[in-house]
Amino acid sequence: MTSTFLADAPTPANHARPGAEPAAAQRWSVQAVQDLLERPFMELLWQAQAVHRAHWPAGDIELATLLSVKTGGCPENCGYCPQSSHFDTGVPAQKLMEVDEVRAAAQAAKSAGATRFCMGAAWRAPKDRDIEKMSELIRTVKDLGLQTCATLGMLQAHQAQALRDAGLDYYNHNLDTAPEYYGDVVSTRSYQDRLDTLRHVRAAGVKVCCGGIIGMGEAPVHRAGLIAQLANLAPYPESVPINSLVPVPGTPLAGSAAVDPLDFVRVIAVARITMPRARVRLSAGREQLGEAVQALCFLAGANSIFYGDRLLVTGNPDVTADQRLLARLGLRGTPAR
């Protein structure tokens, strides 16, 4: 598909052709991403939808269910997170769940139509004995025929390999925001720590799930900086979760100003344009966005959602509401393979 405005749209230094693999040489400057974010809204959506149609079947939405398998008591101080032990949020700490409990939750998710099951544990960095227990959970979920994903904090190279050996398909580790704004959100680890774990995950042959959060008080240039960081990973992540901050009382970011919903849609569109083959996941904050804005996000190229009435510890639309919304929009869950 070509058009006059598409020819005028900002492009990376080495623009990907439809059908091309994500390429290490595909570089996006922060300015080029910011130029995209500032495009007239309708043109941006048109461009994003054109990129989406060139790389993905229309109407296909991946349904991923997220379960907190070890909750609270985390020594990190991520300013958005109710699971940090630095903040008084009333989230009770819970130890790692038993295999049978996780199997039952994964089976229920599969029965409801999910194809990917993500397990989150509030660790700064798991110990090797934690990796052994997680490996058992991964094998259990994998045996049900679900894709597996885990988010466990910082990993060492041998730990990433052990998770891969257990059958882990994806590892989630978000960059959260631009490097320049990262210190305003968390101070107990560095941006480079995040990049190091992502490197270990890639080296182990596990697919990368990596995105960020919009609405933490960041400036537009920081949103552009986040997307540029993600798009310039070589290769860029297979899954890109874009979250709208869910302000939780007790966290430092509880008083953050709400994001303009159309600005959130813009970020989704730019993620789609800059990472054509990634699953762009409309993640936390869908309840606040409402159904009309979610529909715009799907038009902008989002093709994955978290599915189930809880995220790690915050709310999410329930399964019935999501099934109804997808049906009203003529969308369908990605069939299990």
**Would strands 239-244 and 170-172 be described as parallel, antiparallel, or unpaired?**
unpaired
- Rank residues 84 and 334 by Cβ distance to ligand SF4 and give the closer one: 84
Strand partners of residue 151: 120
Q: Which stretch binds ligand SF4 (CB under 6 A): 14-22, 80-88, 248-256, 300-308?
A: 80-88
Is 74 labeled as catalytic in the residue annotation?
A: yes
Q: Does 122 bind ligand SF4 (CB under 6 A)?
A: yes
- Rank residues 153 and 237 by Cβ distance to ligand SF4 and give the closer one: 153
User: CA distances (Å), 313 to each of 68, 71, 118, 244, 246, in order?
Assistant: 7, 8, 14, 15, 11
Residue of 76, 169, 218, 322 interacting with ligand SF4 (CB under 6 A): 76
Q: Determine what percent of the chain falls in helix, strand and coil, rounding each to the nearest 5.
A: 40, 15, 45
Tokens standing for residue 78: 């991520």
Query: Of residues 39, 116, 118, 279, which has the active-site annotation?
Result: 118
Rounded to whole angstroms, the Cα distance separating 240 from 304 reads: 9
Q: Does 201 bind ligand SF4 (CB under 6 A)?
A: no
Burial class (CB in 10 A: 0-12, 13-18, 19+), 22: middle
Please report how close the Cβ of residue 1 comes to ligand SF4 at its closest, in angstroms. 39
Q: Does 74 bind ligand SF4 (CB under 6 A)?
A: yes
Is 210 labeled as catalytic in the residue annotation?
A: no
Neighbours of 27 (CB within 10 A): 14
- Rank residues 79 and 333 by Cβ distance to ligand SF4 and give the closer one: 79
Rounded to whole angstroms, the Cα distance separating 181 from 202 reads: 25
Tell me the one-letter amino acid at 80: Y
Please report how close the Cβ of residue 94 comes to ligand SF4 at its closest, in angstroms. 12
**Are 33 and 266 a contacting pair, CB within 8 Å?**
no
Is 149 labeled as catalytic in the residue annotation?
A: yes
Residue of 78, 97, 162, 293 interacting with ligand SF4 (CB under 6 A): 78
Q: Does 84 bind ligand SF4 (CB under 6 A)?
A: yes
Query: Of residues 39, 116, 194, 209, which has the active-site annotation?
Result: 209
Which spans of this chain sit near ligand SF4 (rule: CB under 6 A)? 74, 76, 78, 81, 83-84, 122, 153
Catalytic residues: 74, 78, 81, 118, 149, 209, 281
